[in-house]
């Protein structure tokens, strides 16, 4: 890759202002595969200046002009699809099949959905004599994570383009190479100079500079709740809009009339997919107490055959987790589960048998978990499932909601009406009934400490718009 030690600012690849670098580690081998430049506040200043200079003209473009740009962006993205997927697999450890069918696919799916949304979106509406207009908010700072990199980049870039905003992106420094390819896609698509800018760097330096910058009108952040709090504090002095998609500890409620075999099997796989590194993963499985033993047996039978191995292998179901830091955190939490008395069903500490390097984690299932245990409270972000028995529906709803998080909930039942009643009581931004197909048009975001604002389709577009009321616009 030609631009690993450069940033994309004002339509050009430029040298960083500083000399700091960081190795990008392949988590399957623990070896460096690239070295990127780390930015400084001075680089952020340059990127913001470019975005501010580009904003007046870009925000004045017509719907048709922005649609044409986004359609070209989608066309070019498809030509680099394989490069993006392969790069994602190498830098964050996603199995090759998952990288091609889901990780890279999320980028094109969100862009296509935003194009569809923009085609009919109402930016103006007359209410009496008052014109209600929705206008681009301005320069947007974007800070994205490593677990679904292109998904989160596109969930921010696509609505920003549709709204007429300009932007400065800081991708995760742990998995930054896919973002560099995306910047090449932006350039090839002919996005005007200064509309999209990219500065690599770490959170305490580049992330904080973006959040604090008086020239940034909005910061859109996806990552941990801990980091989200720091972003919000840094942004507070300039009273900019802060849009956040943060952590989760999602409950999966299996009701007594559910198909237990299907509900547990898909619940285990949903928790383990992407090596458990999804903020909305169903990590707390609530099962009727009288079916606990049967559910545990199904969970064991599902988890144990899941193949852990090199991302490039077609047989691999779980690749490594993204980094040594993440691996050590997961190991600490598995040890905490054992120490606090949870029943270890399968998996446990250490690497899977036959793997002596790479950040591989054993697919782990705990049973007889209680609500006060660390593994039931903290977001693990690894392939670790907790099974918790319950006795009544009233009890399970209260326990499922007893968390500082509120990103997603899952409900499994043989009766859709019964599931709907439980879903209505869940304090989360999303509820998934009986493992439905993914919907790019559903709002995505959380309650409580899982964030604020929403992503996807028109819900995401609204976040990048200001509302202006022009009173007396029309004659009475």
Task: Find the catalytic residue in 245, 379, 455, 463.
Answer: 245
* CA dist., res. 349 & res. 140, Å (int): 42
Residues for the chain: how many in total? 476
Q: Is 237 helix (H, G, I), strand (E, B) or coil?
A: coil
Is residue 206 within 8 Å of 200, Cβ to Cβ? Answer: yes
The catalytic position among 165, 279, 455, 463 is: 279
The single-letter DSSP state of residue 123 is -
Residue 432: helix, strand or coil by DSSP?
strand
Strand 12-14: give its sheet, edge to edge: 12-14, 7-9, 196-198, 166-170, 139-143, 218-222, 241-245, 451-452
CA 362 – CA 16 distance, rounded (Å): 40
User: What does the alpha-carbon distance between residue 473 and residue 476 come to, in Å, rounded to a whole number?
Assistant: 9
Q: What are the residue ranges of helices labelled H in 60-129?
A: 63-79, 81-92, 96-98, 104-120
Is 30 annotated as catalytic?
no
Tokens of 19: 């000399």
User: Contact 258/179 with Cβ under 8 angstroms?
Assistant: no
Q: Quote the CA–CA distance of 197 and 180 in Å, as a whole number.
A: 11
Tokens coding 203: 């959170």
Query: Both tokens of residue 364?
Result: 């782990």
Q: Which residues contact 296 (CB under 8 A, 6 or more apart)?
A: 343, 345, 365, 367, 387
Q: Residue 247's closest CA among 128, 405, 16? A: 405
Nearest to 404 by CA among 379, 432, 370: 379
Rounded Cα gap, residues 298 and 261, in angstroms: 6
Asked if 277 and 152 touch (Cβ cutoff 8 Å), the reply is no
**408-412 vs 251-254, strand pairing mode:** parallel
271 is catalytic: no
Report which secondary-structure segment, H or E, holds 461. helix 457-462
* Rounded CA separation 181/198 (Å): 11
Give the catalytic positions in this structure: 245, 279
């Amino acid at each position: 890759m030609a631009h690993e030690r450069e940033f994309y600012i004002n339509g050009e690849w430029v040298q960083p202002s500083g000399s700091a670098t960081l190795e990008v580690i392949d988590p399957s081998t623990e070896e460096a595969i690239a070295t990127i430049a780390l930015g400084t506040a001075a680089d952020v200043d340059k990127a913001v200046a470019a975005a501010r200079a580009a904003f007046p003209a870009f925000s004045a473009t017509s719907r048709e002009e922005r649609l044409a740009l986004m359609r070209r962006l989608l066309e070019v993205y498809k030509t680099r699809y394989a490069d993006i997927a392969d790069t994602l697999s190498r830098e964050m450890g996603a199995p090759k099949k998952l990288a091609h069918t889901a990780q890279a696919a999320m980028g094109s799916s969100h862009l296509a959905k935003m194009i569809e949304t923009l085609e009919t979106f109402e930016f103006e509406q007359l209410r009496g004599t008052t014109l209600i207009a929705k206008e681009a908010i301005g320069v947007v700072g974007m800070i994205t994570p490593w677990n679904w990199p292109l998904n989160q980049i596109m969930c921010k870039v696509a609505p920003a383009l549709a709204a007429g905003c300009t932007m400065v992106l800081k991708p995760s420094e742990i998995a930054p190479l896919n973002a560099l390819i995306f910047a090449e896609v932006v350039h090839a698509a002919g996005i005007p100079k200064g509309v999209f800018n990219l500065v690599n760097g770490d959170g305490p330096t580049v992330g904080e500079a973006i959040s604090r910058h008086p020239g940034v009108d909005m910061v859109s952040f996806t990552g941990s709740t801990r980091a989200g709090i720091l972003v919000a504090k840094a942004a507070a002095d300039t009273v900019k809009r802060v849009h956040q998609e943060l952590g989760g500890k999602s409950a999966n409620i299996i009701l007594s009339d559910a198909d237990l075999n299907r509900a547990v099997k898909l619940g285990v796989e949903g928790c383990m997919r992407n090596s458990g590194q999804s903020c909305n993963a169903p990590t707390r499985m609530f099962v009727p107490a009288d079916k606990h033993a049967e559910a545990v047996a199904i969970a064991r039978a599902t988890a144990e055959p899941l193949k852990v191995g090199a991302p490039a292998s077609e047989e691999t179901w779980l690749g490594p987790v993204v980094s040594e830091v993440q691996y050590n955190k997961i190991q600490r939490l598995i040890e905490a589960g054992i120490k606090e008395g949870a029943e270890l069903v399968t998996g446990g500490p250490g690497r899977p048998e036959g793997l002596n390097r790479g950040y591989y984690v054993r697919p782990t299932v705990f049973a007889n978990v209680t609500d006060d245990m660390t593994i039931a409270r903290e977001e693990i972000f690894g392939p670790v499932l907790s099974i918790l028995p319950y006795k009544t529906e009233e009890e399970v709803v209260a326990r499922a909601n007893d968390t500082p998080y509120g990103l997603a909930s899952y409900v499994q039942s043989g009766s859709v009406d019964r599931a709907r009643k439980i879903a209505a009581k869940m304090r989360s931004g999303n509820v998934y009934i009986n493992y439905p197909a993914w919907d790019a048009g559903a709002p995505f975001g959380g309650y409580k400490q899982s964030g604020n604002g929403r992503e996807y389709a028109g819900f995401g577009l609204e976040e990048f718009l200001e509302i202006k009321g022009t009173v007396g616009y029309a004659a009475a």
